Amino acid sequence: MVNHLPDRNHDADLARYQAALLDILYDGENGEHMIVAIRAAAGPFSPYLGPLDPMLLEVAAALTRTWGSITLDQPTTTEPSTTEPATDRRVEPPLD
C-alpha cells in the first residue's frame, strides 16, 4: 500500500494529470481506450487509481463534453454583460 503522495513537484504533477484527465474525458468515446489513456497519464499517481469502469467513463465523457461546451461558451470577461441581467444566487440569511 502506498502511504504518501509524491513529494517532489506534487502540484505540477497533479496539474498535468488533471489536465490530461480532462482532455481524455472531453475527447474520449470508448471507455476501454480511456482507461488505457488515464492509466498512462497518471504518472506518479498511478498507484492511487483503483478499478475504472468503461461505461462510467463514457458517461463522464458525455457529461464533460456537455458541461465543457457550456463553460467554453461563457464570456471570459469579468465585466458585467449589458445584454443579460446580473444574477446573484447567494441567499442572505434572514435578519433577526
CA distances to 5, 11, 12, 62, 78 from 24, in Å: 23, 20, 18, 11, 29
17 in any annotated domain: yes
Number of helical (H) and strand (E) elements in the chain, helices listed first: 3, 0
Q: Model confidence over 27-73: pLDDT tens digits? A: 999 999 999 999 999 999 999 999 999 999 999 999 999 987 765 55
Q: Please answer whether residues 86 and 80 qualify as being in contact, where contact means their C-beta atoms are separated by less than 8 angstroms.
A: yes
41 in any annotated domain: yes
82 in any annotated domain: no
64 in any annotated domain: yes
Residue 5 has pLDDT above 60, yes or no: no
Find the domain containing 31 and state its range: 10-72
21 in any annotated domain: yes
32 in any annotated domain: yes
Q: Model confidence over 75-96: pLDDT tens digits? A: 555 555 555 544 544 555 556 5
Our count of domains for the chain comes to 1
1 in any annotated domain: no
30 in any annotated domain: yes
